[in-house]
Structure 1
């Protein structure tokens, strides 16, 4: 299989007999049909590092590669997968590199493809641990914080300046003296900054992290604990740009990302059980020069909840909507906008003119 692309980035073209594709990742391969057409061939996708053979067998996907001039059906047992050696898997992952000779478009932070020359503005070491009791419930965490989803959406809370919904105090490294907690704590990032993030996996299973809104450079991964000297082994020439990366057990993965996309972006574990249990964090990237008048207005069908539930529109049977306010007594009252008042006044004024004999 000739690897040519991963997650929007053209790669150095190399042949592989197998490829470890981690949760949330995607790859593109070219396969040359040059084998003998004596019979069909198996194509197998099987689980890796699962441990339980029964689960692995149930998660195995099988396809048949059929030549139009094939002389017989596929024969024999399914081919065995590669050895479950994480060192070999990591070596394979580091062999996936950017194709700098390709003419395709590439991320262009600060006007340069040479990301090694871009100064780093923020460094975050994100440490995850095995499931633990936090607030009386089994939870997962990053830097000792298990994400607590607020009742008011983050972007709406910022748009309407609602206080107390979230805090911009996520620690840039784990605080070992602090008890793990549930919290709505966001990373306060610098707009157009260049952030270094190190994922430290202190769990026994492979993690896979995805970042919304961005592609990042995967510059390094090794077994052990990350330290300042680990940067000496970074690939600062042709690291691939992607949005999802794996972190092996007892190892670290380092990424560099150019924060040129304003918004509140989710960084999460792609393992659904870990994500559900709170192993995620949001990154706030604010462009202070962007005025609200330059932003697109909220769509009419926006959903409001939490502190903004009184702005929620009531959907009628005919599909139209009307604003409503909910009061403690449980009653609702229609809220008229300025345009509603103008239209109503104009209508009454026309009636008045018709009553005094004006013609139209």
Structure 2
């Protein structure tokens, strides 16, 4: 009898342990960042002020797994207010941690704030950067790598890559970021970038000089390496390539892709790709190159990839970038979602049949440009956004929007007659859990790149095109997501409703359009913005307010106790809390 009791007690204890484990939170990762200015000489021998994190530029890489709890304690030791945004992180139910001026009060100089967020059911390659004013032009950015949880297979892990490298490429200006802001405020332009950076190093346009530098990466012959490549710049699309090596695309902006092979990849501002590179060339040194696209007086930077033990210098024949818009557009048309690969959960990416969902609303956002009192402004549909003294999310939460902003001052379609731009806080609403189509039209002569916080979307549309993806592979793609000229409803007949890649950023070519589809199922206040940062600074952005009618914690978190207050909400009592899910 005693033995039976002991066995039963052991069984109860086991059940209690399993129940406790089931209730346990996902692992926590803690970071402490001291954000300061420092002096760096990056291009042309010109010393300049750069934003450093713990003395580093770029900042520390955040390595985590899906659903980890990320806690970042930011100490602002600048002489300006500061915010960080986490480009591509969906922050499910939690726009409080989005780090945009419309969602959060800035961190004042000589104070600190602790961000807490999860890469909820996400995997892939992302980055963070400061979002106040023109601070993004001063650095302060770094990589975020989110790997799959254990036991969830990835489509390229047999064998796993030997190493996982981050490559942050971006254009760079030698002008101080405050000078750039004053130029824009005075109605002038910031001009063209002075050059290109690779992992915060100025590189060089002179290949021989690059060859004299220590290698940035080392290969062991016969191994495979993962490169996570993000364009962290503010203006220029870049072409990325490694001399003599193919790039096997495996992931972009958090989605596994069909693994096609390319000689080079165009990486637009705000975009991130992961590629696998086989060390299958004769041992030696090779150039890794990033060069600007679509701008006059092109800039490039080179770094060295060295095979272990090699003393053979790189070939002087540095690979040239491709030419023209058509090449870039056709390459984009070749990208496809890997429908059979697991995402952050065990179910395959293709289990979500977005093409079978009825569109409930179409929002057409046309880029607007004009001058107001001599100052150039950008916007959407005749409205140029300006930030309010009270963050929009806080004003909404405390129900004090009067005098801060008015909803839906911008229509779902551009005005029939172009008039002067209105400069106001731009907030539009969307019904919770509706499936919406958004059309971006860019009538400008230059490239645009649009990002939506809090969501991934499907870049849709299809048009057969024959495209050469490498020196030996040509195939017919059925995955165009954009087109020249103006969009019309007839274009829906060409949409790719099967395997468009799910991502958070989309480029829009000059005088062209792009179409996306998504379900607005993430309650909060979310920013749609241009990644071309002078356009963003001058108003090309809008906030989407998505409110859950249930006011349930199932759909959105309450404002955190640690949230900063400013503007009209200082001293106000908290509104009623959202109810627990039933």
Q: TM-score range by the shorter chain?
A: 0.7 to 0.9
Structure 1 unaligned regions, length at least 5: 313-360
Deviation of 1:92 after TM superposition, in Å, equals 0.4
Is the aligned partner of 1:215 residue 2:456?
Answer: yes
Is the aligned partner of 1:12 residue 2:253?
Answer: no
Q: How big is each residue's C-alpha offset from its partner over 1:165-224, in whole Å with a ceiling of 9 and x where there is no partner?
A: 222212101113343211223121010001100000001110000100000001120011
Say if 1:9 and 1:106, in contact at 8 Å, map to a contact too. Answer: no
Distance change >3 Å, CA 232–CA 162, structure 1 → 2? same
Q: How big is each residue's C-alpha offset from its partner over 1:18-48, in whole Å with a ceiling of 9 and x where there is no partner?
A: 10000000001111111112x3111101111
- Name the residue aligned to 1:179: 420
Q: What SS is found at the alignment partner of 1:260?
A: coil
What is the correspondence of 1:149-164 to structure 2 with a 5 Å cutoff? 149-164=387-402
Q: What SS is found at the alignment partner of 1:141?
A: strand
1:252 pairs with 510, 513, 535, which one? 513
- Name the residue aligned to 1:119: 358
Larger gyration radius, structure 1 or structure 2: 1
What is the correspondence of 1:17-32 to structure 2 with a 5 Å cutoff? 17-32=263-278
Distance change >3 Å, CA 2–CA 291, structure 1 → 2? closer
1:82 pairs with 314, 318, 322, which one? 322
Is the aligned partner of 1:3 residue 2:249?
Answer: yes
Deviation of 1:291 after TM superposition, in Å, equals 4.4
Deviation of 1:299 after TM superposition, in Å, equals 3.6
Distance change >3 Å, CA 81–CA 107, structure 1 → 2? farther
Deviation of 1:294 after TM superposition, in Å, equals 8.7
Say if 1:2 and 1:13, in contact at 8 Å, map to a contact too. Answer: yes
Distance change >3 Å, CA 73–CA 176, structure 1 → 2? same
- Name the residue aligned to 2:197: none
- The whole-number CA distance in structure 2 between the counterparts of 1:184 and 1:107 is 41
Deviation of 1:134 after TM superposition, in Å, equals 2.9
- The whole-number CA distance in structure 2 between the counterparts of 1:106 and 1:49 is 39
Distance change >3 Å, CA 189–CA 80, structure 1 → 2? same
- Name the residue aligned to 1:92: 331
- The whole-number CA distance in structure 1 between the counterparts of 2:311 and 2:555 is 65
Deviation of 1:244 after TM superposition, in Å, equals 0.6
- The whole-number CA distance in structure 2 between the counterparts of 1:121 and 1:63 is 49
How many residue pairs get aligned? The number is: 302
Structure 2 unaligned regions, length at least 5: 1-246, 461-480, 574-582
Over the aligned positions, Cα root-mean-square deviation in angstroms equals 2.2
Say if 2:336 and 2:499, in contact at 8 Å, map to a contact too. Answer: yes
Q: How big is each residue's C-alpha offset from its partner over 1:265-320, in whole Å with a ceiling of 9 and x where there is no partner?
A: 000000110000000000011101124899655344432222223459xxxxxxxx
- The whole-number CA distance in structure 2 between the counterparts of 1:123 and 1:115 is 15
Is the aligned partner of 1:138 residue 2:379?
Answer: no
Q: What SS is found at the alignment partner of 1:66?
A: strand
Q: Which has the higher helix share?
A: 1
1:101 pairs with 340, 344, 349, which one? 340
What is the correspondence of 1:227-306 to structure 2 with a 5 Å cutoff? 227-291=488-552, 296-306=557-567
Q: Which has the higher strand share?
A: 2
Q: What SS is found at the alignment partner of 1:87?
A: helix
- The whole-number CA distance in structure 2 between the counterparts of 1:106 and 1:281 is 31
- The whole-number CA distance in structure 2 between the counterparts of 1:158 and 1:66 is 54
Is the aligned partner of 1:46 residue 2:296?
Answer: no
- Name the residue aligned to 1:332: none
Say if 1:135 and 1:181, in contact at 8 Å, map to a contact too. Answer: no
- Name the residue aligned to 1:340: none
Deviation of 1:106 after TM superposition, in Å, equals 7.2
- Name the residue aligned to 2:313: 73
- The whole-number CA distance in structure 2 between the counterparts of 1:134 and 1:148 is 13
Deviation of 1:233 after TM superposition, in Å, equals 1.1
- The whole-number CA distance in structure 1 between the counterparts of 2:330 and 2:346 is 25
- The whole-number CA distance in structure 2 between the counterparts of 1:98 and 1:292 is 32
Q: What SS is found at the alignment partner of 2:292?
A: coil
- The whole-number CA distance in structure 1 between the counterparts of 2:560 and 2:263 is 49
Distance change >3 Å, CA 135–CA 98, structure 1 → 2? same
Say if 1:211 and 1:268, in contact at 8 Å, map to a contact too. Answer: yes
Distance change >3 Å, CA 293–CA 217, structure 1 → 2? closer
Deviation of 1:161 after TM superposition, in Å, equals 0.5
Say if 2:378 and 2:384, in contact at 8 Å, map to a contact too. Answer: yes
Say if 1:121 and 1:190, in contact at 8 Å, map to a contact too. Answer: no
